[in-house]
Structure 1
Amino acid sequence: MDKKIALITIHGMGDTERDYYTGFYDQMKKSLGDQLWNQVIFKPLYYQDILQGQQEAVLGRMRNQVDWIKLRRFLLYGFSDAASLEYKKRVKNSPYYLTQKMIMGAMDEIFNETGTRSIPVIIVANSLGCQVISSYIWDAQRIDASVGIWSMQREDDVAEGSPRDKFRRMQSLKGFYTLGCNIPIFVAGHKKIEAIKPPMEEFKWYNLYDKDDVLGWPLKSLSPSYEELVEDIQINVGRGLLSKLFKSWNPLSHGQYWQDKNVIGHISDNIKQIIK
C-alpha cells in the first residue's frame, strides 16, 4: 500500500530509552486502525546515544563521592542534554551537528521509502525535542545558515532546491505537535524572539501543555510570530485513573504526554483528515 504520510517522533531530555515511543506507537495504531496505519511511515528519532557515553563516564567518575544518585542522574542527563546541544553549534561533529545529521538522515530514509517523492509530514516532539527539531527547521530555512549542518559542506551530491533537498528542509511539514515544550527556556533571554516560518501554506503548529508541568510552556505569548503561528492547547495529561491521580496535577506530568488520550486523539484525527 502506498504511503501517504510520515509520522516522526522525537524524545525529550534525560536518560531516554531507545524504545521511548512504544506506548505512543501502539495507541496511534489502535486509533487509526490497520488500513490507515499501513499508509503511515513511522519514524522515531533518537539523539540520546550522541550524548549518553560521555554522561555515563562523568557520572561514573563521581558516583562514589555523592548521594542521591538517581536524582543526580536525572539532573545530570537532563541539564547536560540541553547544554551540550546548544554548545559549539558551528563545529562539525558537535552534538548539535550530529543531531541535525541524524535528523537529515531520517528524512532521507523516509524520502527513499516513498520512492523519492514528497509526502506530508507530521512531527510530534516532546520536551527538549521541541527545541531540537525547531532549531533544525530554523537552520534549514536560512539560505545563509551560520550554524549546524546547513552551514557546512555536506558529503553528498544533493542539489539545492531539488525534491530531496526540499524534503530534508521540512518543506513538506504539515503538522507540528509540541508536547511539554520548553522552547521558552532557550529564547527568554533574547531581545528578539521569532518562530520558524510556516514550511507550507497548510502548516499547523499545535502546542499541548499541562499547566502543572513546570517544563512545559504555552508559546503564543512569546512574540507576535508565535502568536500568529501556534495554537496553544491546555490539557490535563495522564492515561488512566492512577496516572491522573498521582501525576497529572504536579511536575511529574512532564513525562505523561506520549500516551495521553487528548494527544493521541488530536494527532490521529489530523492524520485521518490528511489521508482521506
Structure 2
Amino acid sequence: MLVIHGIGGQRTDFAEPLIRGVNREVKRLGADASAIAWQSVYWDDLLVPRQQAYLKRALKDGRLNYQRLRQFVVSALGDAGAYRQRPSGSVAGAKSGRTYERVHARIREQLSELYHGPLSGRPLPLVLMAHSFGGHILSNYVWDSQQTLDRHLSAFERMHWLAGFITFGCNIPLFTFAVDKPVPIRFPATRLPARFKEKARWLNFYDPDDVLGWPLKPVSSAYARSVDADIRLQVGGAVGGWTPAAHLLYWRDRRFARHVA
C-alpha cells in the first residue's frame, strides 16, 4: 500500500492514524494485517519553507485578518500552483527544478523502498491511497509511467502491478477543465496478471460536506468506466464532521478505515 497526502501542512507521520485504523479493521475481519506492506509518500517539505517564509513576512505587521485561514489558503493553493508552475527564470520546456519532477522523484523513491524493502523484490498487487490533491499527483505519476518506458525500473515500479486505487477527498475534477474529454489512467494496469484484474478496484470516497472532495464518474465517460464507485461517506464526528473541515478527517475515521479494509 502506497499512501500520499494532499494539500495543507502535513507531518511526516501523516499516514499513521489511517494505517492503524485499517490494520485494526483487517484484524477484526480475521485476516493477517502484517501481510500488508505500507509505505507513505511525504512531500510537503518541498514547499513548506518558501510558504512559511512568505507568511512570516506578510503577517508580521498583523494587518491581515483571518490569519489561520490565510495560512491554509497559502498552503493549499500554494501546493497546487507550485506543482505545475515552471520556476521563474527557467527555459521554457525545461524540467529540471520543477516541483512536479521533485514530487514525482519522491514517489519514485518510496516505491523503490517499498519494492526493495518490505517486498524484497517480489512483485505483488499494488494499492495506491491518495488524499485530496494527492489523487491528482498520483494520477499524473501513473499516467507518466504508462506513457514512458523506463527500463531502469522494475515492472512493479512501472505500475504494471497496480491493482487498487483509493482516492478520498479527491479534487481531480478541478484539474480537468482544460480539456473537452478528460482521459484517466489505464486502470487496472494493462499488464496486471489476470488473476488480480478481476478483483481490481478504483474506489473514490467523498464526504458531502467536504467541498474539496468530489465524485469522479461525472468527469467524463472514460472516468465513468474506469472508476468503480464514487462512495458518499460521512467522516468525522459531531465536531467538524458536518462542516467543510471534514476534508481533513478521513485519516482517523473508523468507517472509512472499515471500507478500505
TM-score interval, normalised by the smaller of the two chains: 0.7 to 0.9
Alignment-derived partner of residue 105 in structure 1: 109
Alignment-derived partner of residue 274 in structure 1: none
Report the TM-score, using the length of structure 1 for normalisation.
Answer: 0.82
Alignment-derived partner of residue 71 in structure 1: 69
Question: How far did residue 67 of structure 1 move?
Answer: 3.3
Question: How far did residue 35 of structure 1 move?
Answer: 6.8
Higher helix fraction: Structure 1 or Structure 2? Answer: 1
The 1:35/1:207 distance shift into structure 2, 3 A limit, reads closer
Alignment-derived partner of residue 248 in structure 2: 255
2:43 to 44, 47, 56: 47
Which amino acid counterpart does residue 216 of structure 2 have in structure 1? L
Contact kept? 2:12, 2:42, Cα under 8 Å: yes
Structure 1 segment 114-193 matched on structure 2, within 5 A: 114-143=119-148, 160=151, 164-193=153-182
Q: Deviations over 1:230-259 (max 9, x none)?
A: 111111112xxxx2x232222111111122
What SS class does the counterpart of residue 104 from structure 1 fall into? helix
What SS class does the counterpart of residue 107 from structure 1 fall into? helix
Q: Deviations over 1:11-66 (max 9, x none)?
A: 11011122211211221222223971221211011010111111111111212233
Which amino acid counterpart does residue 181 of structure 1 have in structure 2? C
Which amino acid counterpart does residue 139 of structure 1 have in structure 2? D
Alignment-derived partner of residue 9 in structure 1: 3
Structure 2 distance, partners of 1:140, 1:64, is 44
The 1:90/1:221 distance shift into structure 2, 3 A limit, reads farther
Report the TM-score, using the length of structure 2 for normalisation.
Answer: 0.86
Contact kept? 2:127, 2:164, Cα under 8 Å: yes
Question: How far did residue 115 of structure 1 move?
Answer: 2.3
Which amino acid counterpart does residue 24 of structure 2 have in structure 1? K
1:62 to 58, 63, 69: 58
1:211 corresponds to 2:215? no
What SS class does the counterpart of residue 167 from structure 2 fall into? strand
Q: Deviations over 1:207-228 (max 9, x none)?
A: 0011221100001011111000
Q: Deviations over 1:134-157 (max 9, x none)?
A: 1100111113xxxxxx8xxxxxxx
Contact kept? 2:204, 2:231, Cα under 8 Å: yes
Segments of 5+ residues of structure 1 without an aligned counterpart are 1-6, 144-149, 151-158, 269-276
Q: Deviations over 1:127-182 (max 9, x none)?
A: 01110111100111113xxxxxx8xxxxxxxx62x7x4321221111111000100
The 1:167/1:59 distance shift into structure 2, 3 A limit, reads same
Structure 2 distance, partners of 1:115, 1:43, is 14
Count of aligned positions: 241
Structure 2 distance, partners of 1:235, 1:265, is 11
Structure 2 distance, partners of 1:92, 1:85, is 13
Structure 2 distance, partners of 1:171, 1:90, is 28
What SS class does the counterpart of residue 37 from structure 2 fall into? strand
